[in-house]
Homo-oligomer: A and B are copies of this chain.
């Protein structure tokens, strides 16, 4: 997981003052990047725009971030530093349904959707943005895995279930429709995905590969998560 204290990766004076000038500057720059991405998309975002919008001088932006790619990547790093936790409804299907509905709801609201959509688009054009997006979702989905761990503890899912694959599987049909097939998403689709994922979990379809197709003597003590590196 990456949470660089400063965007350039070098420790600078002031970095460790929480809520101080550095943090405020970074947040102002992040807000300007999000607005710029939402308004113009990645191809239209410029350091000049971020400078004007944030009130941070252009030379400061170049010196401390480097350029547009680094500005976008840092905004994404900062977005990952929130206190979000996955839903806890008391049951696996309820939790997965809530997770899927959250994807559905946040991308159905044009205002909420603008920045994350722009990040996903930017990753097509910038390796640096793609790296930041990968780190963002790796950490976000790692948080989601709690949902599956709790289900295992409750006996709702077999021990050794590939939690990372499960939380991705329940969200995937929504992301597919939003960003590939460009179809509408809605709550019924989220619920269908949750029902399908729970059925697959119960059937043991998310066990590590040794458990799905080949004979095995029992659950491995430390399952290899091959399908989800």
Contact = CB atoms under 8 A, between A and B. Distances in A.
Contact of A200 (B134, B180, B197, B226): B197
Interface of A: 41, 43, 117, 120-121, 123-125, 130-131, 133-134, 137-138, 141, 162, 165, 168-169, 171-173, 175-177, 179-184, 186, 188-189, 191-193, 195-200, 202-206, 209, 212-213, 226-229
Please give the count of copies of this chain that the complex contains: 2
Given A165-B189, A196-B205, 13 more contacts: A120-B179, A123-B179, A169-B172, A169-B173, A176-B176, A191-B212, A191-B213, A192-B206, A195-B205, A196-B196, A199-B199, A199-B202, A199-B204
Interface SS of chain A = helix
A95 to B, nearest CB: 16
A200 B200 CA distance: 5
Contact of A172 (B176, B186, B204, B213): B176
